[in-house]
Amino acid sequence: VCWSEMGGWHRPRVQPYGPISLDPAAAVLHYGQEIFEGLKAFRHADGSIWSFRPEANGARLQRSARRMALPELPIDAFIDSLKQLVAVDGDWVPNAPETSLYLRPFMFAKEAFLGVRAAKKVNYYVIASPAGAYFTGGVAPVSIWVSTNYTRAGRGGTGAAKTGGNYASSLVAQQEAAEQGCAQVLFLDAEEGKYIEELGGMNVVLVKKDGTLVTPHSESILEGITRDSVLQLAEDRGHKIERRRVTLEEWREGVESGEITEMFACGTAAIITPIAMLKGASVEIGSADAAAGELTMSLREELTDIQYGRREDKHGWMMRLDA
């Protein structure tokens, strides 16, 4: 779909996958004016194709658009774009456990000019790619690297928007994590460097001995749809939820004293990933061979059961894409 200041959203169409041409002065290439989303299409046992809370992704794309001075795509046009893609490419939704078709909606400034201002010509696309099981051979707890050299986002910045620049700025931190043998990087807040924020591409949740789930509240993290859903499922089971600032020190003390019994990361790609340990320049929390937590795995199973249509969808989260 194209957008221009004069014409609004126009020219919706499905076209064969292939290169797109851009003017070398296209604003996105210079000033990073772009946003995106990530969600999945799941095949249910009867062959039907569903997506998980796509309206929430559509609403988040609108919030990202406002932050990045891009036009808001109406939610019904967002949903329609997913349905139209699935209508032609539905055969690509795999039919095997834990597999899905990953959907990547994105929007960028294509107007050609050199100068820092909001573009008046924008394109919105959706591409799709079949995704295999994230974990093969069982869900394995991961180690996380606490970055003290880099932060991801500061007050008033773009941290809460899903925009490429946030990911570009996390690349070196992710490289540092990999060099330390860690699967992901954990960012701390930019102002004081003591509050936990999120991982490069996932939110974080801690489970306390009394069953309370604690997750960082911050203006500068991406509000994950997986996290929101997992916390809702836990609340349905009677767990208390705390969304508040959490220091790295509280995490360390909690694990050492046994007050924190489980920790996990969550996001669309891996759904829920148990965290075995956290290490960084001056901390070491947990141990590399820690087993996945019981509540962590049971919430993971409940959520994937809903996504694959094996369990009742009490919250009306699933939307059919192929009908």
CB of 227 to ligand PMP, least distance (A): 6
Residue (7 or 154) nearer to ligand PMP, CB: 154
What is the smallest separation between the CB atom of 288 and ligand PMP, expressed in angstroms? 24
Work out how close the CB of 295 gets to ligand PMP at its nearest, in angstroms, rounded to a whole number.
18
The 10 Å CB-count burial string (b at 16+, else e) for 106-130 is bbbbbbebeeeeebebbbbebebee
Per-residue exposure over 192-210, b if at least 16 CB sit within 10 Å of its own CB, e if not: eeebbbbbbbbbbbbbbee
The sign of the CA dihedral 32, 35, 38, 41 is: negative
Gap between the Cα atoms of 39 and 104, Å rounded: 7
Closest distance to ligand PMP from the beta carbon of 156 (Å): 17
C-beta neighbour count of 318 within 10 angstroms: 19
Helix (H, G, I), strand (E, B) or coil at 119: coil
Of 125 and 167, the one with the shorter C-beta distance to ligand PMP is 167
Which CB sits closer to ligand PMP, 26 or 231?
Answer: 231
Q: Name the site residues for ligand PMP (rule: CB under 6 A).
A: 38, 198, 201-203, 222, 224-227, 267-268
- Of the pair 198, 262, the CB lying nearest ligand PMP is at 198
In the complex with ligand PMP, which residue's Cβ is closer, 26 or 270?
Answer: 270
Beta carbons of 201 and 173 less than 8 angstroms apart: no
CB of 53 to ligand PMP, least distance (A): 9
